[in-house]
Structure 1
Amino acid sequence: MGNSRAYPVFRTGDAVEAWTQALRLNALLEVHDDEVTLMADLMTVEDARRMAAVLPRAEFNHARAQVDPAAPEIVHFGSDIATTEDALLEPELPLSVLHYVPPGTVEDEFVRALGRGIASIGLSGRWPDDAETDSGGVAAYDGVEVVFNGDNVNWSRPADHHTVFVHVDKWGDLPRAEKLAAFLGGTVLGDAQHGW
């Protein structure tokens, strides 16, 4: 099966602009999945409360595994972010969330709730076949992803900007990525990265 290849095609310091450009690319997908993937690392109490208000049914966890020294097992975060006092929530940070939503439901609110932690919105589907670039769409790999506060699709490099990626087949369809970058008025901004 393998992973998609993700090419960075747009970068900006404005989260709303990054999301807007991702939506422009998403409109080019021939097929859209019925779920959007939302992920975020929440670094402050304020970040956690804003995100919990946007995703009240989501499960929040410790961003880094915490182990109980008395019994070597992972400690799960089980508090209600909305009602837990700041002094009790602070030592639990950073928190993370991975949640799936139907398209067009809370994505705009998610973008407005972002803090300084790395976050992403993944929109998967299938690109149309393109005779001009000799590219075929592959539903297992295709899509658009915005990485907020980062420039690596695998979250390994935090940054002060936001990066839009296009996911293509596992062989790295550079001609398609170049055409999608040109649609936004730019070029591919770096090498392919291992995607989803």
Structure 2
Amino acid sequence: MSNDIAYPVFHSPDPVLALSMARRLMELGRCEYTNVSLYAELRSVDEVRRGGAKELPEGWFRGQEPYGEFDDRVPFKDRPEWLVGVRGAGLPTDPMAYAGRLPVDYELLNHAVASVEDAFTASIGPSVGEINWQDLFWPDAPEVGFHGESKHAEVTLLLNTSTREYDEPADGHTILVRVRSVNVDGRQMREPYAHWWLAEQVGLTVIGPGQRC
């Protein structure tokens, strides 16, 4: 079993520019199996409505359920359905239904590349989220002594945050290049591959320490 590590290679206050640069990096490893997934924490009713009713209604929305709010004696049919997960059409229309339920988690998995990224970037507003391109295949880099890989080959665009845990809101957007973690005596042996070859191919460079989930 192996893990990945993600290196930040670009940061910008412009979401359109960040998306464009992330796509350039993604294209280095794109193959016939590559797909894209979206995640977000929508922090206002307006953002939930904009995403659910207009921009991305096919995704899954789930409101917060405070720990202990419902015990095992309360059947699922008697709980608000959207706390389990609903499509955009199933979201509450009454603003009061969102009291104590924010942020609303949003998820859309395994869609075709270039089918949802622009709409998501335009609709997320100040909420935090990410676009993740997975099932890439990083190529060999024989000139720097590295073999390619596919298991942990991904590109992530973080929106309005700089960390994979969404715990540091930011006034900008960060691109992460993800590779397999190989730790030898505390040193990450794949960092040079992410730095010298992958990022460099599109004019970028590693700008911070690696991040783990």
Is the shorter-chain TM-score for this pair beyond 0.5, marking a shared fold? yes
Q: Hey, what's the Cα distance between the residues in 1 that align with 2:162 and 2:67?
A: 30
Indicate the RMSD between aligned Cα atoms, in angstroms. 2.3
Cα 1:149/1:32, change in 2 over 3 Å: farther
Q: Hey, what's the Cα distance between the residues in 2 that align with 1:51 and 1:71?
A: 31
| Paired residues of 1:43 and 1:115 also in contact (CA < 8 A) | no
SS of the equivalent of 2:41 reads strand
Q: Which has the higher helix share?
A: 2
Q: Hey, what's the Cα distance between the residues in 1 that align with 2:70 and 2:14?
A: 45
Structure 1 equivalent of residue 175 of structure 2: 164
Gaps spanning 5+ residues in structure 2: where?
A: 183-187
Q: In the TM superposition, what whole-angstrom CA distance separates every residue of 1:138-169 from its partner, at most 9, and x where no partner exists?
A: 21101211011111123232211110010111
Aligned residues, how many? 193
Q: Hey, what's the Cα distance between the residues in 2 that align with 1:39 and 1:95?
A: 11
Gaps spanning 5+ residues in structure 1: where?
A: none
Whose Rg is larger?
2
Deviation at 1:130, TM superposition (A): 1.1
Q: Hey, what's the Cα distance between the residues in 2 that align with 1:136 and 1:49?
A: 45
Deviation at 1:16, TM superposition (A): 1.0
Structure 2 equivalent of residue 109 of structure 1: 119
Cα 1:185/1:155, change in 2 over 3 Å: same
- TM-score using structure 2 length: 0.80
Q: Hey, what's the Cα distance between the residues in 1 that align with 2:175 and 2:57?
A: 26
- TM-score using structure 1 length: 0.87
After TM superposition, the structure 1 stretch with the greater mean CA deviation from structure 2, 174-183 or 122-131, is: 174-183
Structure 2 equivalent of residue 12 of structure 1: 12
Cα 1:191/1:71, change in 2 over 3 Å: same
1:181 aligns with 2:192: no
Q: In the TM superposition, what whole-angstrom CA distance separates every residue of 1:146-193 from its partner, at most 9, and x where no partner exists?
A: 011111123232211110010111224222221333334342111111
| Paired residues of 2:2 and 2:180 also in contact (CA < 8 A) | no
